[in-house]
């Protein structure tokens, strides 16, 4: 697999080696050994999958410590714009984000470490999206930032009148009103804050 660094340390794009022939294609979607050699030590404990229609935006979500999650995400059907935003207090890139298009054709994956909020917009008629998480879901630790916050300058590539949000996602605060539970010295990979 090829690991592509982004403008924010710790957030990486992963391109698998795809083998194609007359039958179709094959690739390793995850190798614990290779991931740990090229990205970081990690133990994924939960896999999730969602299906969404065009215009759906899910996010920007995170889980607070001590249940913070790192995620490895991919789109197995359709296309999404995936976003990871730095929400670590004191970080030089606080409020900055990385966006990448994930599609069933490019087979790219996106790794979002702890200390980042995550969201995606569905660009195709429908999309099936998969997440690997290194912490179990804890409803009481859920948090979010409004995707409608114009100060973030995220181009979700969906006209505002076509955006579909859950009721919960309409209630997240703007970044200026957000009190992050993450410090700059949060361990990006082990969910353990060293503050």
Tell me the backbone φ, ψ of residue 73, rounded to 5 degrees: -120, 155
Which listed residue (61, 107, 118, 172) is catalytic? Answer: 61
Rounded to the nearest 10°, the torsion over CA 152, 134, 108, 98 is: 20
Query: Please, are residues 129 and 52 in contact by the beta-carbon 8 Å criterion?
Result: yes
The question of whether 97 is a catalytic residue gets the answer no
Q: List the one residue out of 74, 52, 42, 89 whose CA is nearest residue 163.
A: 52
Which listed residue (97, 107, 118, 131) is catalytic? Answer: 131
The question of whether 131 is a catalytic residue gets the answer yes
Beta-carbon contacts of residue 181 (< 8 Å; ≥ 6 apart): 64, 65, 143
Three-state SS for 119-145 is EEEECCCEEEEEEEECCCCCHHHEEEC
Which residues carry out catalysis?
61, 131
């Amino acid at each position: 697999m090829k690991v592509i660094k982004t403008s924010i340390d710790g957030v990486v794009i992963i391109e698998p080696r795809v083998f194609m022939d007359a039958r179709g294609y094959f690739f390793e979607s995850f190798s614990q050994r290779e991931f740990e050699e090229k990205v970081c030590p990690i133990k994924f404990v939960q896999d999730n999958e969602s299906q969404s229609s065009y215009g759906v935006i899910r996010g920007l979500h995170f889980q607070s410590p001590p249940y913070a999650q790192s995620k490895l995400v991919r789109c197995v059907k359709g296309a999404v714009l995936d976003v990871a935003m730095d929400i670590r207090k004191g970080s030089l890139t606080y409020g900055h984000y990385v966006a990448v298009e994930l599609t069933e054709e490019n087979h790219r994956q996106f790794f979002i470490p702890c200390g980042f909020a995550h969201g995606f917009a569905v660009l195709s008629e429908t999309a099936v999206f998969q997440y690997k998480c290194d912490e179990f879901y804890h409803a009481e630790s859920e948090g979010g930032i409004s995707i409608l916050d114009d100060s973030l300058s995220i181009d979700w590539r969906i006209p505002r009148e076509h955006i579909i949000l859950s009721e919960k996602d309409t209630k997240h605060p703007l970044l200026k009103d957000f009190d992050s539970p993450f410090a700059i010295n949060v361990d990006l990979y082990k969910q353990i804050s060293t503050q």
